Amino acid sequence: MVEATLWHPVADSSALTDGPLAARLLAHDLVLWRDDTGCARTFTDRCPHRGTRLSLGRVVQHEGRASLECPYHGWRFADDGACVLIASQPSFTPPASHAACAHEVQEAHGLVWVRLQPGDTPLPAFEAETDPQLRKLLCGPYDVATSAGRIVENFLDLSHFGFVHDGWLGERAQPQTPAYTVQPTPTGFVATGCRAWQPQSNRLSTEGSWVDYRYELTAAFSAVLTKLPQAQDGYRDVIGLFVCPLDEERSRVWFRLAVTDHDSSDDALRAFQHTIFTQDQPVLESQQPRRLPLAGGEVHCAADRSSAAYRRFLIERGIRFGAIA
Ligand code: FES
Ligand SMILES: [Fe+2]
């Protein structure tokens, strides 16, 4: 499965204290925890002894090193998954076959990322993360009863603003979507020349404005939006969408904000994003089928150029999780 070789976000870095913390990715249960150096670690959430969830266990010190202890018979697993203690047979040296199944993990953009199988695709880029002029903030997670593909497509969609976000990101009276350009990139595509009339483009906007939009698909289930409101000189919003495909029809969503708004409180910035996304969520959860239909069955118009490019991208890359091919 191609998706298993890609990096996916599974948890907020701040939610992973010592652990263990349960997570889910691609219909696969995971346990996350931190080793002595604070590095995130992840295993399949299943003890090799009797299949118990390791996330119900605890992180303990074993011979001077943090290890994960199973809640059932107390077997302990080192940070690489190796079984280092069978509590009932303390003098027995466990063989390699007794190891927990470890996966690669790293942290970026305020999130913990995992890939289930080795691959050569890098983590989705979010260049705004290192821009010192921008303030960063994580919003979410939102658990949404639909496929990751439906959520990405909604994020790339301009022509719903006047209806779903009337009075905020659009107006019913101005539903036209001006033409825009879509060009392929190594990780997906970029949509440029997008424009939308927005009564309330961001928390600080005080009047309606045309807003220039740029969308970039940075991975199968990640995208970056840059918004430049013409009425607010120097103002810039960069929003990263990071979706975890929990199951084929269930997803967890984070937004990474990188904005020039240094005045609003964290709560106020999150509240704005919450208002917008909870307008999208019921529409997203109503869409049938929940899996993105790649093989036809839906019709398109010229405003859907990004959606069409996204579906082509998934088909070309062989990504089928949460899709009907
Ligand atoms: S099931 Fe985990 S130690 Fe027995
Ligand atoms: Fe929306």
- Cβ neighbours of residue 93 closer than 8 Å, sequence gap 6 or more: none
pLDDT at 18 over 90: no
Å from CA of 87 to ligand 1 middle: 10
In this structure, the answer to whether residues 230 and 169 fall within a common structural domain is yes
Task: Establish if 264 belongs to a structural domain.
Answer: yes
Report the nearest-CA residue for atom 4 of ligand 1: 73
Mean pLDDT, residues 113-131 taken together: 97
In this structure, the answer to whether residues 186 and 96 fall within a common structural domain is no
pLDDT confidence bin for 111, thresholds 50/70/90: very high
Average pLDDT along the chain: 97
pLDDT at 312 over 90: yes
CA atoms of 115 and 29, how far apart (whole Å): 13
In this structure, the answer to whether residues 221 and 143 fall within a common structural domain is yes
In this structure, the answer to whether residues 213 and 87 fall within a common structural domain is no
Any atom of ligand 1 within 6 Å of the Cβ of 226: no
CA atoms of 163 and 157, how far apart (whole Å): 12
User: Does residue 162 come out as left (phi exceeding 0), alpha (psi in the -120 to 50 range) or beta?
Assistant: alpha
The residue whose CB lies within 8 Å of the most ligand 1 atoms, and thus the one to mutate among 56, 67, 75, is 75
In this structure, the answer to whether residues 136 and 96 fall within a common structural domain is no
Q: What's the pLDDT tens digit per position in 294-303?
A: 999 999 999 9
Å from CA of 277 to ligand 2 middle: 6
Å from CA of 51 to ligand 1 middle: 7
Q: What's the pLDDT tens digit per position in 139-153?
A: 999 999 999 999 999
Q: CATH number, domain at 94?
A: 2.102.10.10
pLDDT confidence bin for 259, thresholds 50/70/90: very high
| Sheet with 135-144: strands ordered across | 135-144, 250-259, 237-247, 222-229, 209-219, 188-198, 181-185
Task: Establish if 66 belongs to a structural domain.
Answer: yes
In this structure, the answer to whether residues 42 and 137 fall within a common structural domain is no
Report the nearest-CA residue for atom 3 of ligand 1: 73
In this structure, the answer to whether residues 91 and 52 fall within a common structural domain is yes
In this structure, the answer to whether residues 191 and 71 fall within a common structural domain is no
Task: Establish if 244 belongs to a structural domain.
Answer: yes
Any atom of ligand 1 within 6 Å of the Cβ of 47: yes
Task: Establish if 12 belongs to a structural domain.
Answer: no
pLDDT at 19: 78
Number of domains, the chain:
2
Mean pLDDT, residues 27-39 taken together: 97
In this structure, the answer to whether residues 81 and 149 fall within a common structural domain is no
Domain boundary among 70, 104, 138: 104
Å from CA of 57 to ligand 1 middle: 10
Å from CA of 75 to ligand 2 middle: 47
Mean pLDDT, residues 250-276 taken together: 97
Task: Establish if 112 belongs to a structural domain.
Answer: no
In this structure, the answer to whether residues 209 and 260 fall within a common structural domain is yes
For every residue of 102-154, DSSP letters joined together read EEEEEEETTEEEEESS---PPPPP-GGGG-TTSEEEEEEEEEESS-HHHHHHH
Domain boundary among 104, 119, 148: 104
Any atom of ligand 1 within 6 Å of the Cβ of 73: yes
Task: Establish if 40 belongs to a structural domain.
Answer: yes
In this structure, the answer to whether residues 46 and 178 fall within a common structural domain is no
pLDDT at 229: 92
Q: Identify the nearest ligand to the CA of 161 by its number.
A: 2
pLDDT at 72 over 90: yes
What percent of the chain is predicted at pLDDT more than 90?
96
Mean pLDDT, residues 175-199 taken together: 95
Domain membership of residue 212 as a residue range: 127-324
In this structure, the answer to whether residues 67 and 165 fall within a common structural domain is no
Q: Which SS3 state, helix, strand or coil, does residue 280 take? A: helix
Q: CATH number, domain at 135?
A: 3.90.380.10
pLDDT at 136: 98
Q: Helix 148-155 crosses helix 266-286 at what angle (to 10 degrees)?
A: 120
Q: Identify the nearest ligand to the CA of 166 by its number.
A: 2
pLDDT at 316 over 90: yes
Q: Identify the nearest ligand to the CA of 86 by its number.
A: 1
Å from CA of 65 to ligand 1 middle: 20
